[in-house]
A = this chain, B = another copy of it.
Amino acid sequence: MRKGELTHQAILERAIQLASRVGLQGLSIGGLAEELQLSKSGLFAHFRSKTSLQVEILEAATALFTERVIRPALTQPRGEPRVRALFENWLTWERELVPEGGCIFVAAATELDDAPGPARDRLVQTQRDWLDCLAQAARIAVAEGHFHKDVDVEQFAHDENALLLGFHHSARLLKEPRAETWARRAFDALLRAARPQGS
């Protein structure tokens, strides 16, 4: 019972790293088992199918993301500082993972967007939660008077997310060194436009 849960967690940990590089579909049971010095059937003692493994990967990654990106931001003061913290924490999350394959959610988004099933459903939920989180932070910023009254918080969340996607894309595909600078500058412009006086 003890040992089992330990390896279960070890499998998920390694699987997240691997899937970030090769994708959830590209992830092979055999390859994963080999990296863990385990047999393929040893894996199937912990996950009844590849699909259920994919769902568990997304769940574990979501928990990690919440802990590393969202929770630290909640310690920041309500309003604009928290909005900014969410953005910065995401950048850090991605930057630290870039050599490993970058944000697993972005990596999974493309390959799952046309593959209905439990894995896709789980990913959509995580993405929706993230956008809601961004929108809620912006909503608070409006309430606190940091943002102008008629800022569309959902639009703001969408824009912010688009910048993060753009960063991921430029950093990973084009290996563009200015990607982070560009993303941060664009976000500053977004904040500036949202503030009451306009600068």
Q: Is the CB of B155 within 8 A of A186?
A: yes
A35 adjacent to chain B (CB < 8 Å): no
> Which bracket fits the contact residues of A?
35 or more
A107 adjacent to chain B (CB < 8 Å): yes
Known contacts A158-B166, A166-B165, A166-B166; A23 and B173 CB within 8 A of each other: no
A169 adjacent to chain B (CB < 8 Å): yes
Which chain A residues numbered 159 to 199 have a C-beta less than 8 Å away from chain B?
A: 159, 161-163, 165-167, 169-170, 172-174, 178-179, 182-183, 185-186, 189, 193
Q: Give the nearest-CB partner of A21 in chain B.
A: B114
A128 adjacent to chain B (CB < 8 Å): yes
How close is A32's CB to chain B, nearest CB, in angstroms?
16
Residues from chain B with a CB closer than 8 A to the CB of A101 are: 114
A31 adjacent to chain B (CB < 8 Å): no
Residues of A within 8 A of B (CB): 21-23, 25-26, 101-102, 106-107, 109-114, 123-124, 127-128, 152, 154-155, 158-159, 161-163, 165-167, 169-170, 172-174, 178-179, 182-183, 185-186, 189, 193
What are 6 A-B residue pairs whose CB atoms fall within 8 Å in the complex? A23-B110, A109-B110, A112-B173, A155-B185, A162-B167, A166-B166
